Structure 1
Amino acid sequence: MVDERTAIAGRARLFTALPLPGEAVDSLRAELARHPCGPGSRRLRWSRPQTWHVTLGFYGMDDPRERSAWLRERLAGIAAPVVRLEASGSFRGVLWIGVRGDGLDELAAAVRPEDEERAFRGHLTLARGDAPAAIRAWARLLGSYRGPAWTAREVVLFRSDAGARGHVHTPVERFPLGRPVT
């Protein structure tokens, strides 16, 4: 059911994501702590661990109630993928950790926005910045990272609002997934 406190009438900036379990967060934090003064660290804006998630679909400005109903239908009976954070890379101005797993592509396809043209590339954004050399160096440092596997038991529809310390992500609705992919 849509959370009435976050689904204010009208439109909001929405996306779906997989939340990370504590063990995945702890593992990645430990890996980052191994490189406390990594290359160009101060030139990058690091995402806070409490905001870490794996984006599945971005819907832009959309109606929370309508998107929730659409997702409820699309996610009915979808298996829970077994995933892990693994390797790293970059997009323009973004350092990320990769996400791989059985059933992840199928899940992403189920929640794919109707007008999305780009292929799904599972990742978790770690940092942003206008420091290409620092981002490339960090991507090399984290290239062999391999976190623990977990079963993603739910997809969360989030509302994203600008805040003083970056975007604030508020859950709108949670969608439980079926049995793990085997």
Structure 2
Amino acid sequence: MLFRELKEKGYTGSTRPVSRWARERRTEPHPCTPKKYRADCLSEPKARKQQGKLPAPRRLAWLLIRDPETLSSDEAQLLDILRGDAAVGSIWDLARSYVFMIRERTVGKLDSWISSCSSSGIEGFETFAAGLRQDYTAVRAALTEPWSNGQSEGQINRLKTIEWEMYGRASFNLLRNRVIYRAA
């Protein structure tokens, strides 16, 4: 009902923020609310908010690799709370040392970093370290050589996207014409 009224007045958003807003201000449970959830509906909104929700995993990953000096006070506080956990603390240490190694191009720390990841007990880092070992010469070259293949990788990705749009069903001539047409 509230959402329909807002739509009539020009609201262009989705139902989720409206229902969240109404849920936080509800003074009694909805008649259809199951009995086992009624007590939670009646709790104070501030108490429910203090439980807090973590940001999305992707945002947490960015939080772990960003420079701590660029974080807002809320982000820094969240990072301090997260680093209180031993596993997250070791993840943060590994992630920060990786970022430093890549940005500063310190190839001398690569071997020790890979071995630290392999013995960390964190599955994602162990898998990543195994992948780096398989392509060790390329990784080492990326840290020592001044050139990058980013431009060619971008062009390859663009070609694959065009090919994917054609469902892989066309001759090379059609692909060539589409690439030339898009470049113009």
Structure index of larger Rg: 2
TM-score by length of 1: 0.22
- Structure of greater relative contact order (alpha carbons < 8 Å, 6+ residues apart): 1
TM-score by length of 2: 0.21
Q: Which has the higher strand share?
A: 1
